[in-house]
Structure 1
Amino acid sequence: MENIYEFYNPVKTFVGADSIGQLKNILIDYEKILVIAWNKSIFNMSVINNLKQHKTIYELEFSYSNPTLENLLEAYDNSKCFDYDIIVAIGGGSVLDVAKTLACIKNTTIKSVDDIRNLINENNFKPVCPWIGVPTTFGTGSDVTCWATLWDVTGGKKLSVENTKNYALASIVDFKLGESMPKTLAITSALDAVAHATESYWAIKRNPTSKCYALTAIKFIMDALENLGGEQYMSQIAQGTMFAGLAFSNTKTTACHSISYPLTMYHNIPHGVAVSLLIGPMITLNKDEIEDTKSLEQAFGVDDLGEVELKIQAIVKKAGLPFALSEWGIGQSDLDFLADNGSTKGRIDNNPVKLNRDDILNILNKIF
């Protein structure tokens, strides 16, 4: 008898050009809606204006990237007086992560960042209202996962708000919403999704369904990045990001993400670039534990997994960005500190090969 495995993701997804028009039908039973968006212009979209004719719409602009606890507190303070019964988040992963967190703390009394920090440390989060994710940058897959990323700058930690009951009511993947993205943002976002899929493929918590989604995601996105600007490239990236999100919604990420967090927090390396720097070295370290390497090679479009790093390097350079830590202003003397802070519980221990602090330091030296 084959081993029994479980795959769970309850998010209803709408995919395709102009699929944002489905909001009207999804919201038919809701009267009071909080719309969180990355830019005020979103509030004037025709689909939102149409909703305003029949619903009570509250508007909250959230324009921060990599949201901190302070950013979340500001969003909470700005929306706590709104009497909404569902949240619609339109924007990148940061907007979606804040939305799904607000869905959990809506009826909680919060007066300080310490209150938020304590809630997260106690894992005392339960959704009290549903939310809908409408991504406009395609990379995080946050619309189909049940956790949110927040940054504790004071504590020097990346924090995760997670509850399996906090999946979105629905996700709308309308690739036309991403067509105006600058090339650099499109590439860095897509590389984040490639990392999600790749890490999901080898994660300890992998299963046959997650692996299938992961391979599909990698192929869709890598093909699109080789044809950047082509007629179908944004559609491929949007769908690939969704598949990557479905994959790692069940597996979480591994060492690439864990080691990348301090690179973003302390040196402002864009998250998608930070994780992509680590894919090649981690493929080398994990290779003996990767099942069916041939399928992974085919997804990346290479003859050997050793070629992946050069392929990703070419993509990053296409975005006009550096591919070495030293080119991001990081000094050799910084690596010890980065290694000390490169282990995030739930990520580093999800890697198929166990890594200690010295292993992390060696990896950082390789990409220096």
Structure 2
Amino acid sequence: AAASLACEGVDFATLQGSEILHADLPPFIAVPTTAGTGSEVTLVAVVADTKKHAKLSFTSYKLVPHAAILDPALTASLPPKLTATTGMDALTHAIEAYTSIQKNPVSDAFAVKAIELIAANLPVACRDGANVDARTSLALGSLMAGAAFSNAMVGIVHALGHSLGGLCHIPHGQAMMMLLPHCVRFNLYHGVHAGLYGELLPHLAPARAAELGPGAMPAERDLAFCDELFAMNEHCHEQYGVPLKLSELGVAHDQLPAVAKQARYDGAALYNEAEITLDDALEILEATY
């Protein structure tokens, strides 16, 4: 909305892409009502084109809000299901930033702390939405995850998620939650990000990391990290009824090839170390179907 005001008379759709926005925005204060997107600190905006069934991506440092206000009271009434899926969106931001080909010390610092805050507080916030400390920590985790991916970008999970959102109208957090562990497994299978996921294990699941001990092989830690993500999803499914399959959300099986094709050319796919072929995208979608 702020960009539209700044570029009055210009077709907003023509501004999609990277650093195409040249006009300065009017005063822009962001007040998030979920702890998920991190939009209050990011340079990215995603707008749904309901006619073309696609999500348009806009990237510019001019899109970063001038100020952000985090008020946990605004997320207190968010139901457990939405708390879980938006929280997993934030977790995906942090994990993909940490494993992006554009990762750097600044994004790593934000990502690691975000993972710690989200992993420790998401179960509490889902169970007790009025817990102010948990809601505050989740809001901070979401903000830090947003700062992380603004410095490193995201990857395969978002490439597929954007396509699912545009073509099948799957809520973004829901898509991130379903896809994350499957995409981590894909990357490990293709031998990329080896050891990086394992480095994150103590921040995601300290007890599991301690159980493995300092002598565990990097590959063992990587697999344990992936297993923990699947376990988090199963918990949310059992406790709060969060769907884990595309078929449960009304997606027709014959839609998958179109989703895979669109994801293949999504900008986020460029930042994944392993190239995503059409067959790869289809294989991941089949696993979530």
RMSD over aligned CA atoms reads: 2.1
1:311 correspondence with 2:232: yes
SS of the aligned residue for 1:286 comes to helix
What is the deviation of 1:123?
5.9
Corresponding residue for residue 173 of structure 2: 272
Provide, for residues 218-249 of structure 1, a one-character-per-residue CA deviation record: whole Å limited to 9, x for no partner.
12112112223145221121111011011011
CA, structure 1 residues 264+317, in 2 after alignment: closer, same or farther (shift >3 Å)? farther
Alpha-carbon distance in structure 1 between the residues aligned to 2:96 and 2:65: 23
CA, structure 1 residues 294+145, in 2 after alignment: closer, same or farther (shift >3 Å)? same
Provide, for residues 301-325 of structure 1, a one-character-per-residue CA deviation record: whole Å limited to 9, x for no partner.
1441231222223224433221011
Q: Which amino acid aligns with 1:129?
A: P
Corresponding residue for residue 282 of structure 1: 183
Equivalent pair of 2:111/2:148 in contact (CA under 8 Å): yes
Equivalent pair of 1:188/1:316 in contact (CA under 8 Å): no
The unaligned stretches of length 5 or more in structure 1 are: 1-97
CA, structure 1 residues 173+121, in 2 after alignment: closer, same or farther (shift >3 Å)? closer
Corresponding residue for residue 197 of structure 2: 293
SS of the aligned residue for 1:258 comes to helix
Corresponding residue for residue 140 of structure 1: 37
What pairs with 1:110-259 in structure 2 (closer than 5 Å)? Answer: 110=10, 115-120=11-16, 124-126=20-22, 127-228=24-125, 229=128, 230=131, 232-259=133-160
How many pairs are equivalent? Answer: 264
Corresponding residue for residue 326 of structure 1: 247
Equivalent pair of 1:198/1:214 in contact (CA under 8 Å): yes
> With CA pairs under 8 Å and 6+ residues apart, which has the higher RCO, 1 or 2?
2
What is the deviation of 1:181?
1.8
CA, structure 1 residues 143+103, in 2 after alignment: closer, same or farther (shift >3 Å)? farther
Corresponding residue for residue 9 of structure 2: 109
Structure of higher CA gyration radius: 1
The structure where strand makes up a greater share of residues is 1
Q: Which amino acid aligns with 2:26?
A: C
The TM-score with structure 2 as length reference comes to 0.84
The unaligned stretches of length 5 or more in structure 2 are: 210-223
SS of the aligned residue for 1:289 comes to coil
CA, structure 1 residues 123+185, in 2 after alignment: closer, same or farther (shift >3 Å)? same
Q: Which amino acid aligns with 1:289?
A: V
The structure where helix makes up a greater share of residues is 2
Identity level (%): 29
Alpha-carbon distance in structure 2 between the residues aligned to 1:152 and 1:203: 27
The TM-score with structure 1 as length reference comes to 0.67
